[in-house]
Amino acid sequence: MTVTKNDRLTVFVEDLTHDGQGVAKVDGYPLFIKGALPDEEVEVHVVKALKKYGFAKLIEVLKPSPFRVAAPCPVFETCGGCQLQHLSYEGQLMVKEKQVRSAMERIGKLHTTVLPVKGMENPWRYRNKSQVPFGMEDGRVVAGFYKSGSHEIADTPTCLIQSEAADRLMVALKERALEFGLQPYDEKTGQGQLRHLVVRTGYVSGETMVVLVTKSRKISQPEKLIQLIREIEPSTVSIVQNINPARTNVIFGEQNFVHWGKSHIVDSIGSIQFEISARSFYQINPVQTQVLYQQALDYAELTGEETVMDAYCGIGTISLFLAQRAKSVLGVEIVPPAVEDARRNAVLNGFDNATFEIGAAEEVIDAWYEAGQLPDVVVVDPPRKGLDGKLIDTLIMHKPRRIVYVSCNPATLARDLRLLEDGGYTVHEVQPVDMFPHTTHVECVTYLTI
């Protein structure tokens, strides 16, 4: 059967894509269907038919999945923040486990054990950081996540995955922004002042930081605005203005001004404290971060005698977890402010066995080897693109006895594991961890030995 635009078809959904669309096949021809779930029979309208695949609009669910639920968010169907609220949490974990297993087998040609995903007891209100764009619509201020695949704001009355403090501040600023000369910024024209509201909350400390990202420093009645923020959210300990004058969709600019309180908040992962500034990288889900890092620590199998290298160390979160059980930890990170944070966090927690250097992981680690600093364990936590090929070559050449790999992308994880196995390593079990409930993202931890 040839599928053409405007066809109305009844199809069976076999799988989900990486961005949460249902996948059905018509005589082998893939159709991608937003809102459809695996094991459903659905009626669809074909909206685009390309040579090798097409897209269809969901018309009706004829036979629903047993895991289909009503999404509790009022803007779920338009907002791009979540993709899976219409799938029960049990169903989400099953889908993510299948996603990881598929990547290992299809991309990595690996047959290692993929364990059940470690999920959350309460998969709501888990984000300790929200960054909400502001805009104007029909003469009123709007704020919320962007609509799927666009930079158009889905005006949001409440977000069920961010903190209640962030909700309160977002609603109040929508109502009162114009009083303070904070006309929302328009990406198309470059006009306006208020670009984003960023709210960071300490899960353990209870501290809140409020960051107003604006085009220029000008704010009318800043003292009154500070008073309003503190009244709305009494847990606020830091009010910061970040200036971003550039015509860009990058959120932060280079300049920060502290209007009130501290320049940072403090929070903890386990027994380790971290200072978090407006632009610091810090894991979004504090509950699952502890699960993720504890798994990495367990896989490292440290006895207190090992030297550990931590590539892509960020602000030192994993490094300091490892330093609790290692003889010494060497961390490397390409972002200078992150290294400054890592060094400060080491001092804050009294670790004298963790050192940090600025640079590309593949270059710094190679230099460490040449200088005779031979690690027993290497921990890697790369961005979504995975490991740099030069770093993989370095690891294969020098052969540390154990590698612990923390990944935010199953596809690049599988690719890199294949290369490391081909270089003489053995991949052991893969443990997925659900860091971002109601989205399609899943993190994994695995380890390799030589």
Structure tokens at 387: 């490991």
Q: Dmax over Cα atoms in the chain, in whole Å?
A: 68
One-character DSSP codes across 345-379: HHHHTT-SSEEEEES-HHHHHHHHHHTT---SEEE
AA letter at 208: T
Within a 10 A sphere around the Cβ of 62, how many other Cβ atoms?
A: 12
Alpha helices in 258-409 (DSSP H): 286-300, 317-323, 336-348, 361-370, 389-398
283 is in an annotated binding site: yes
Burial 176-212, CB ≥16 within 10 A → b, else e: ebeebebbbbeeeeeebbbbbbbbbbbbebebbbbbb
83 is in an annotated binding site: no
Q: Find where tokens 């790999």 sit.
A: 405
Residues carrying an active site annotation: 408
Contact predicate 120/182, CB 8 Å = no
Helices (H) and strands (E) in the chain, counts: 9, 20
Contact predicate 3/9, CB 8 Å = yes
Backbone angles phi, psi at 436, to 5 degrees: -135, 75
393 is in an annotated binding site: no
Q: Which helix (H) or strand (E) holds 304?
A: none
Alpha-carbon distance of 9 to 47, in angstroms, equals 12
333 is in an annotated binding site: yes
Torsion (CA) 44, 46, 48, 50 in degrees, nearest 10: 100
Alpha-carbon distance of 38 to 68, in angstroms, equals 10
Annotated binding site: 283, 312, 333, 381
- Per the annotation, binding residues for S-adenosyl-L-methionine are 283, 312, 333, 381
